[in-house]
């Protein structure tokens, strides 16, 4: 009887802890400028974005608005925490390259868009989800004047901003600028 009770308690604990990871979607928000680049640079561009990670559909959907960009050359998501330059893991599709204006763009990434980075532990889309859920991913827009990055937006889980989130049961990111 003691063994049965112990097994029942262990199963209950496992089910309760699994509930914290049961969330299928997570909304990320971010806003940024040249001040968030690593190292910070001078620039007039700013941006904001809302992204949704969907674990069940294996999609990462974003809408970003960029202001005051001059000669856009690239855009992508990186894995890396605040103040850390990380590797590119997905390119933003259908960018209005060479634009010198404001724009809003919506796109969706899937596994097919992933650039594998085994040295950094990025072997599947779920690895990017885990990094983003913990505040360790950012959108970056590049220009001819700043090929290393003109505007950086750290993507943070929406919610109370600093408490544990239920997507992976880990703490959200901290923005220091």
Q: What pLDDT does residue 72 have?
A: 97
Rg from Cα positions in the chain = 19
Q: Is residue 165 part of a domain?
A: no
Q: What pLDDT does residue 132 have?
A: 93
Q: Is residue 48 part of a domain?
A: yes
Q: What pLDDT does residue 82 have?
A: 87
Q: What pLDDT does residue 2 have?
A: 54
| C-alpha span between 71 and 34 (Å, rounded) | 15
Q: Is residue 33 part of a domain?
A: yes
Q: What's the pTM value of the predicted model, to 2 decimals?
A: 0.79
How far apart, in Å, are the Cα atoms of 78 and each of 75, 120, 127, 131, 141? Answer: 10, 11, 12, 10, 11
Q: What pLDDT does residue 61 have?
A: 98
Structural domain boundaries, residue 134 = 24-157
Please give the chain's pLDDT, 177 residues, in tens.
555 444 343 433 333 333 344 579 999 999 999 998 999 999 899 999 999 999 999 999 999 999 999 999 999 999 998 889 999 999 999 999 999 999 999 999 999 999 999 999 999 999 999 999 988 999 999 999 999 999 999 998 886 453 333 444 333 455 443
Q: Is residue 170 part of a domain?
A: no
| C-alpha span between 132 and 165 (Å, rounded) | 11
Q: Is residue 146 part of a domain?
A: yes
| C-alpha span between 175 and 65 (Å, rounded) | 19
Q: What pLDDT does residue 168 have?
A: 40
How many structural domains does the chain have? 1
Q: Is residue 176 part of a domain?
A: no
Q: Is residue 17 part of a domain?
A: no
Q: Is residue 29 part of a domain?
A: yes
Residue pair 61/54 in contact by the 8 Å Cβ criterion: yes
């Amino acid at each position: 009887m003691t063994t049965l009770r112990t097994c029942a308690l262990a199963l209950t604990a496992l089910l309760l802890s699994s509930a914290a990871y049961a969330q299928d979607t997570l909304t990320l928000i971010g806003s940024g400028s040249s001040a968030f680049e690593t190292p910070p640079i001078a620039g007039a561009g700013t941006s904001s974005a809302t992204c949704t990670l969907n674990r069940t559909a294996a999609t990462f959907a974003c809408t970003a608005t960029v202001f005051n960009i001059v000669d856009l050359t690239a855009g992508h998501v990186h894995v890396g925490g605040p103040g850390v330059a990380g590797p590119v893991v997905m390119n933003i599709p259908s960018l209005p390259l060479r634009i010198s204006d404001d724009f809003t763009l919506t796109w969706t990434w899937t596994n097919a868009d992933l650039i594998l980075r085994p040295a950094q532990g990025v072997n599947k889309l779920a690895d990017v989800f885990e990094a983003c859920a913990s505040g360790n991913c950012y959108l970056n827009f590049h220009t001819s004047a700043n090929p290393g990055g003109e505007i950086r937006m750290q993507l943070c889980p929406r919610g109370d901003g600093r408490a544990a989130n239920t997507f992976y049961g880990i703490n959200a990111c901290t923005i220091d600028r």
